[in-house]
Amino acid sequence: MATVTVVVPVYNMPQYLPRCFESIRAQSFSDWEAILVDDGSTDSSPRICDEWAAKDPRFRVIHKPNGGVCSARNAGIDAANSPYVVLMDQDDLLSPVLLEALLEAQKNNPKAFCLCLHTEERDQLAQALPASHPILYTARQAGHLYNRAPFPPPWAKLFQKSLLQEHSIRFDETIRDGYEDRPFMREYLAALWKTDPLTPCVVVQAPLYFWERGNVGSVSQSGHQPLKPWHLSMFDTFLQDCLTVYKTPPVSLQFYMMQYIQTLAFSISCLPAQSRQADAAWIYSTPEYDRLLAYFRDNRIYSVFYLPFKYRRTELIARLSRGRLENDAFYWRLYKLGRLLHPFWRDWQGIDAIPAD
């Protein structure tokens, strides 16, 4: 039995596979297995997977009918023969010291959840163990953990398979629009902190994972994610965990809440224009909607989307979402008008900035 299993869902991207698999084989820590889950690929991907398994027995291949990335990840986790699991996307890369660094952090903090930083620039991928000490976060610091670590993606993290099994944590295979990560990560953190909120999340301070953001074929880059009920619930459940269970200071959740309201606005903008008003009407009667507005109102956090959501102006929400992505003049005129109406609210101009402690 290996110490750690790397699970890689594979579907129709053969051009990325050799470099991905080579980054696994190049690990400084050698006691690993890699499970390549061919999710019904229709090109040369299955053959490439089989070739790598033939030349290195640490690679195993599962061929299955297409069921989506959630189905593939679940199959890989189920088949893992090790106490730890690392999830990886087929177009990404591991630093040669990722497994060594995460396992060392785990050894020093046996009950912890260990993860590392990531980069979107290949030349910035760390090639050696970091010199700086990891940073530890407890449940009450969940907001800062979210701000400063690669959340919500499941990659760049060392999962304890026993925790996944004990709490039946799985990816929801009905979600196939790129938003499957948040529910999974929320459940894992909830399980981790259920018995002891002082159990730390340990963040190794080095970019040990490369995320290929430029892959236009990935689900997250599809650009069409119409509003679904889980777009509300996936954010609201973590918000409620933070506020009611972890006692996280609300102000530390600014970054998270800006992602929430902007993602919701984007999902509304993806609805068909002819039926958008009717298709989005249900959200205004939900408790999640009430809690979303209450957060911005009670904590006096400014968002250009706050008033359009408050007054249920669905078309304006969609127009502003497009304008934000295109950085157009209409968006900024409305932004400045809203600031005039909320002069004493905290200014927050997007989701990329990180709030101070």
- The residue segments making up the domain with residue 302 are 223-341
Within 10 angstroms of residue 59's Cβ, the number of other Cβ atoms is 22
Structure tokens given for 231: 């777009």
Tens-binned pLDDT, residue by residue, of the chain (357 aa): 899 999 999 999 999 999 999 999 999 999 999 999 999 999 999 999 999 999 999 999 999 999 999 999 999 999 999 999 999 999 999 999 999 999 999 999 999 999 999 999 999 999 999 999 999 999 999 999 998 998 899 999 999 999 999 999 999 999 888 888 999 999 999 999 998 999 999 999 999 999 998 755 554 444 567 888 878 999 999 999 999 999 999 999 999 999 999 999 999 999 999 999 999 999 999 999 999 999 999 999 999 999 999 999 999 999 999 999 999 999 999 999 999 999 989 876 544 444 444
Do residues 94 and 179 share a domain? yes
Classify residue 179 as exposed, middle or buried by CB count within 10 Å of its CB (0-12, 13-18, 19+). buried
- pLDDT value for 351: 41
**Residue 150 belongs to a domain:** yes
Do residues 262 and 128 share a domain? no
DSSP per-residue codes, 152-192: S-SBSEEEEHHHHHHTT----TT--SS--HHHHHHHHHHHH
Do residues 186 and 237 share a domain? no
Do residues 71 and 213 share a domain? yes
Do residues 292 and 162 share a domain? no
Do residues 261 and 215 share a domain? no
Each residue's pLDDT tens digit, 303-353: 999 999 999 999 999 999 999 999 999 999 999 999 999 998 987 654 444
Residue at which a domain ends, from 220, 238, 262: 220
Overall pTM surpassing 0.95 (yes/no): no
Within 10 angstroms of residue 350's Cβ, the number of other Cβ atoms is 12
Q: First and final CA of the chain: distance in angstroms? A: 43
CB 106 within 8 A of CB 192: no
Strands 93-94 and 201-210: antiparallel
